[in-house]
Chains A and B, each alone.
Chain A
Amino acid sequence: MVPEAESWTGTVATTVCPFCGTGCGLLLEDAAAYPILSDSVGRGGLCLRGWSAGELLRSPLRITHAQVRRRGERLHPAPAEPVLREVADRVRAIRERHGGASIGILASARITVEEARLLAALAQTLGTPHIDSFQRLGCTPSAGASLASIDAASRILVVGADLAARHPQVARRVLEAVGRGATVRYLGSRRMQHAALASGYIPCLPGGEVEAVGPAMAGELVLWSSDLALHGQAGPALRRLGARGAGFLSDYANQRALLEAGAYPQQGGVGAWEMLSRAARGELKALLVFADDPFEFFPEAAERAFAAVELAVVVDAVATRSARAADVVLPGALLAEKDGTLIGLDGRKRELTPVQSPAGGMTEGEVARWLLKLLGGDGDRSPAREFAPGPDGAPPDTPTADFPVLAALDTGTLWHTHALVGATVTARREAWGPRADFPAGYVALSVEDAKALKVRTGGSVKVESDAGRIAVSVRVDARVQDGTALFPMSCWERSGSALGALALDPCLRIPVFRPRAVRLSRS
Chain B
Amino acid sequence: MTFAANLRGRSVTAPLLCALWIVVAAGLLVLKPSAFAASTITTVLQFSTLLALVALGQSLVVLCGGGGIDLSVGGAASLSVVLVMLGLKNGMPDWLLPPTCLAAGAALGWFNGLLVTRLGILPLIVTLGTFYVYSGLAVALTNGAAQSGVPAWLVPWGRGAIGAVPLPFVTMALPAFLIAGIILAFTSWGRWIYALGHNERAARLVGIDVDRVRRLAYTISGLCAGTAALVSLAWLGSGRPNIGQNLELTSLTAAMLGGIGIFGGRGGVGGVLAAVLLLVTLQTGLLQLNVNTIWQVGIVGALLISVLLADRFSAPQG
> Are A and B part of the same complex?
no
Interface residues of chain A, those whose CB is within 8 Å of chain B, are none
